[in-house]
Amino acid sequence: MTRLVEDLPPMHVGGKRLVGWVVFGLLVLGAAAVGAFAGLLVVYTTDLPEITQLEQYRPSSTTEIYDDRGKIIGSFAMQHRVIVGYDDFPKVLRDAIISTEDKDFEKHWGINFWRAAGAAYRDFDSGRRAQGASTLTMQLARNLFLSPERTFHRKIQEILLSIQIERRFTKPQIFTLYANQIFLGHGVYGFEAGAEYYFSKKARDLTLEEAALLAGLPKSPSGYSPINYPEKALRRRNLVINNMLEDGKITAAQAMRAKNAPLQLRIQTDPNSLAPYFIEEVRRYLEKKYGTEEVHQGGLRVYTSLNSELQLTANEAVLNGLAAYERRHGWRASLPNAAAEDVDISKYDHPDWDEPIHEGSYVHALVTTAYQTHADVKFGRYWATLQPADCAWTGHKSCGEILARGDIVYVKVLSLSPDGTAHVSLEQDSGAQGALLAIDNATGDVKAMVGGRDFDISKFNRATQAQRQVGSSFKPYVYTAAIDQEKISPDDMILDAPVSFPTASGPYTPHNYDGRFQGNITIRHALADSRNIPALKIADEVGIKTVIDYARKFGITSPLPQYLPVALGAADLTLMEQTSAFTTFPNDGVRAEPRMIRRVEDATGRVLEDNYPQFEDVISSRTARVMTSLLQGVIQHGTGIAAMKLKHPLAGKTGTTNDFTDAWFVGFSPSITCGVWVGYDEKKTLGPKETGAQAALPIWMDLMKVAIKGRDSENFNPPPTLVRTVAQKVPVRNSSQ
């Protein structure tokens, strides 16, 4: 027995040694492989981000602007995203996403080994990096931390990050992060924002076919865009539905019904289009206070003073008023022509067509054909024919006489049909502009703001930025100064007759608008009929410096030179200044400071600012009530008498400048004050007789019709009974002076 080993053949001993060397070699190779892999890990993880950052991570989200009733009227965003929780994504959407993007999402630990191996083989076989095989977790890691480049280095990092994410977060947490982060085309990020943009609804309300459409977008948001490529989007949607059917998420009947459903988008309209000038004012304020990054990425919630109903009315009122002005002066358009500018008419697109188009809209349209009796026009997806009646106001027998193929015309939409046909009337845009501002007397809240005819064409806000001569709408400050200092009383007499005032440059000899003089009239009549001579006499008696001091009390901050013509409005003010100042009269002598933003919250709901109404004492309640009574006379029997048809307690003042360059009406009810300006940006005439009563008052009336609804019982505070011990007249300068 002891010789058994020694008796073994030499080949057995050699074989044992060979096995030993093989084992040793394998151990060395294994150690080398482990070392190499460890080295690779060191190389590829040296620049990996801290995964703990994800616990505090909050993606860029949209700042939303709300009106006074909590309705969204605007937004600011670098990426349009609405962040929601896991339960806000319905099961049908979760199933659609998982069935398409990552069938084994609930099972794997960050990577799908077999899917990755298959993709690697196909990449090797095809000689290119075509197969990603990324799980939802890997897509999340790439979107949050890595670049989109397709390299081996990035893929290793993606895998390592995915494993770490899976270790630290639950599947619902990972899905929520992914669903809020992913890009879905057209500037939209996340499925909640996608549901709102493509279907104008919340994600929780999506149907099967809608959820499937959204779930198909992450693969190629631009390539499968349902807006740009509806047929490709439809095929991709149906593929998602088939995936859900294969995974047992839906029944065959549900799949059949969903695949047969047409592609029905309801693209979300731009909320900023309702009040673009107001939204721009809000943006500038927020960026100045909080910074551009916070405003466009921080997901602020901004609660404003704007009333959507009044704003819509204001938009229509200004455009209708400008259209009426254009028609009064006849057809004078020199139209741009797309064909003459070498533009392919079949591909022509106008910025107006990107905004929501509805009945009452004013838009630019393209003339596609012009015949002797009529002309066909296109705007957006709508078509219309301009018949002779639609152009009768131009003085021509038909639109074909004045229009040519390729002309860009301005039209008003009278009606729209589901089939894309429309009825429009021909209008004109000669460049005349209008602005409107409405302020709540009790709070100073800006309820409506129109800064011009078309924000897309001109961002300049004529309600807050334009300084224009205010004409006779300045006269209330003159009368206020005199009444407050008890220099005059409403029933005092004043002589409306020729007069000259000495100045450093020689005599100043003013005149009335109508060129006539009315002799002895009451102060009440002088203001109601906007007589210039009485206003100048009162200003001269009180002192122009005193008048300016009172204007300052009313919140007028624009430069006011100390010379007598300022009493007639020969000074440039903003519509905001004038409208805010006039709230003093119905407020018993207290001016309401304009307020556009009520409250600002951050993305977590923490209040950043809470703005309460602010007021300034300006004049006594006695003076305010007397002036309100005088300004009521402007409407009851003066230059604003057209507003009597509204049958409501109203007061205000017209304003017209020399050569009819600016037309104003600023007026109020007990609850709201509104100012309107009409003119050209360059100081040129609006045309003969284009006074404040003619050009601005009708716009004011259209707004006030809506503003006073439901306020039948309101009334102004009655003026005090004024007792004068001596019958008084304002001192009268001799006409020879």
Mean pLDDT of 308-318: 97
Give the 3-state secondary structure of residue 639.
coil
The set of long-range contacts for 292-295, using a CB threshold of 8 Å and a minimum separation of 24, is 295/63, 295/76
**Residue 349 pLDDT level (bands cut at 50, 70, 90):** confident
Alpha-carbon distance of 575 to 435, in angstroms, equals 8
**Does residue 62 register a pLDDT over 50?**
yes
Contact by Cβ (8 Å): 676, 436: yes
Alpha-carbon distance of 291 to 294, in angstroms, equals 6
Q: What are phi and psi of 469, to 5 degrees?
A: -65, 135
The tens digit of pLDDT for each residue in 397-426 reads 888 889 999 999 999 999 999 889 999 999
In percent, the amount of the chain with pLDDT more than 90 equals: 67
**Does residue 114 register a pLDDT over 70?**
no
- CB neighbour burial string for 654-669, b if at least 16 within 10 angstroms, e if fewer: bbbbeebbbbbbbbbb
The more confident residue out of 217 and 729 is 217
Q: What are phi and psi of 428, to 5 degrees?
A: -145, 140
Alpha-carbon distance of 568 to 535, in angstroms, equals 7
- Cβ count within 10 A of residue 347: 7
Please provide the size of the chain in residues: 737
Which residues form the catalytic set?
A: 101, 472
DSSP states along 670-701: SSEEEEEEEE-SSS----TT--IIIIIHHHHH
Q: Per the structure block, which two tokens stand in for 221?
A: 């948001």
Helix H or strand E segment including 378: strand 375-379
Give the 3-state secondary structure of residue 478.
helix
| Structure-derived torsion over alpha carbons of residues 138, 139, 142, 144, reported in degrees to the nearest 10 | -110
pLDDT value for 1:
43
Contact by Cβ (8 Å): 438, 447: yes
Contact by Cβ (8 Å): 300, 285: no
Q: Per the structure block, which two tokens stand in for 538?
A: 């009162």
DSSP states along 249-273: SS-HHHHHHHHHS-----PPP-GGG
Q: What domains, with CATH codes, occur in the chain? A: 53-61+83-272 (1.10.3810.10), 276-430 (2.40.50.140)
The tens digit of pLDDT for each residue in 587-628 reads 999 999 999 999 999 988 999 999 999 999 999 999 999 999
Q: Per the structure block, which two tokens stand in for 205?
A: 């309300």
Contact by Cβ (8 Å): 678, 699: yes
The more confident residue out of 22 and 89 is 89
pLDDT value for 381:
87
CA–CA distances in Å: residue 50 to residues 133, 145, 387: 24, 10, 69
Radius of gyration (Cα) for the chain, nearest Å? 37
**Residue for token digits 């070392």?**
35
pLDDT value for 725:
39
Spacing of C-alpha 27 from chain mean position: 70
**Does residue 165 register a pLDDT over 70?**
yes
Contact by Cβ (8 Å): 424, 384: yes
The tens digit of pLDDT for each residue in 681-705 reads 999 999 999 999 999 999 999 999 9
